[in-house]
Amino acid sequence: MNRKRFVAGNWKMNTSMNEGFQLLKDIMDRVSESDLETCDVSIFAPFTHLKVFQNTLNGSLMQLGAQNCHHEEAGAYTGEISADMLASVPVAQVLVGHSERRQYFGETNELLAKKVDQVLKHGMQAVYCYGETLDQREDESYIEVVTNQISTGLFHLSAEEIVKVTLAYEPVWAIGTGKTASAGQAQEIHAHTRSILREKYGEEISAQLRILYGGSVKPSNALELFSMPDIDGGLIGGAALNAQSFEAIIKA
Ligand code: 13P
């Protein structure tokens, strides 16, 4: 099965409007149409930037994503952004379940299942993040933890729905720490992920789903990680804030 590569930049809470616009232009200048034919590229920008970015990207193959959405349709949730609003920008994808949302905003697998439903209901794709903490890796419960994150967050979806989801394994201990999971450590979880997807949805669908790796991906380690059989690309934090390193990761 030939899965198209996918590299996504998660800008998190970084860049003013002007800085973000300049960074987007720099990335657009560096990433060629031929890069985009072999690799999907998406920018997960802050909410405030989305409309301007959508206008700027118009006609480009590069895609736009949001970093979060609320789990309810609409209503009295001051300060929140709904999936319906994001679809009206429009954005193509929404990140769901980033570990920083789980850790700092108390998002549970059950809540994330509702967010995934909202994203799909409004015609966008979800990028569902999961991954264990350092404690969970050290006490060897990590396989159980990631299995539970995936099954509770996603396994209520039908076969037609799950194909609109990309998975992103991001071990918490590797995010922003400079400590990358080794290619072998990442491949172990990616292969496990694909095997539980196979059990649930069958061979054809599991072979088609893309599983990204995230956590201190840099130009120097991207090629080794992306060479693993079940790693289909990356979700990039820090290195996505520099057009040159983001380009180098896309080229890997
Ligand atoms: P870093 O690449 O900065 O480790 O961040 C990874 C991440 O959280 C992407 O969503």
Question: What's the token pair of residue 245?
Answer: 């390193």
User: What pLDDT sits at residue 73?
Assistant: 98
Q: Are 129 and 98 in contact (CB under 8 A)?
A: yes
Which residues approach ligand 1 with their CB closer than 6 A?
10, 98, 170, 175-176, 214-217, 235-239
User: What is the 76 CA–ligand 1 centroid distance (Å)?
Assistant: 32
Give the mean pLDDT of 171-196. Answer: 94
Residue 1 has pLDDT above 80, yes or no: no
Alpha-carbon gap, residue 117 to 3, rounded angstroms: 24
- The answer to whether residue 156 is catalytic is no
Residue 65 has pLDDT above 70, yes or no: yes
**pLDDT, tens digit, 9 for 90 and up, residues 3-21:** 999 999 999 999 999 999 9
Residue 252 has pLDDT above 70, yes or no: yes
Q: 């350092």: which residue's tokens?
A: 134
**pLDDT, tens digit, 9 for 90 and up, residues 122-144:** 999 999 999 999 999 999 999 99
Exposure on the CB side of residue 64, measured as CA atoms within 13 A: 24
User: What pLDDT sits at residue 53?
Assistant: 98
- The answer to whether residue 170 is catalytic is yes
User: What pLDDT sits at residue 155?
Assistant: 98
Cis amide leading into 229 (omega within 30): no
pTM of the model: 0.97
Residue 83 has pLDDT above 90, yes or no: yes
Query: First and final CA of the chain: distance in angstroms?
Result: 20
Task: Identify the CATH class of 5-251.
Answer: alpha beta
**Integer angstrom CA distances of residue 79 from 54, 74, 75, 136:** 22, 12, 11, 33
Task: Identify the bridge partners of residue 233 per DSSP, sorted by sequence position.
Answer: 6
**pLDDT, tens digit, 9 for 90 and up, residues 201-233:** 999 999 999 999 999 999 999 999 999 999 999
Give the mean pLDDT of 153-165. Answer: 98
Question: What's the token pair of residue 154?
Answer: 């996603």
Q: Best substitution site from 10, 220, 249 to test ligand 1's pocket, by max atoms within 8 Å of Cβ?
A: 10
**Integer angstrom CA distances of residue 15 from 12, 127, 134, 147:** 9, 22, 29, 34
Q: Which of 71, 98, 122, 190 is catalytic?
A: 98
User: What pLDDT sits at residue 209?
Assistant: 98
Which residue's alpha carbon is at the smallest distance from atom 9 of ligand 1? 237
For helices 142-154 and 183-201, the axis angle rounded to 10 degrees is 40
User: What pLDDT sits at residue 97?
Assistant: 98
Alpha-carbon gap, residue 15 to 159, rounded angstroms: 38
Q: Are 64 and 45 in contact (CB under 8 A)?
A: yes
Domain extent listing, the chain: 5-251
User: What is the 29 CA–ligand 1 centroid distance (Å)?
Assistant: 23
User: What pLDDT sits at residue 105?
Assistant: 97
Note the Cα 93 to chain centre separation in Å. Answer: 9
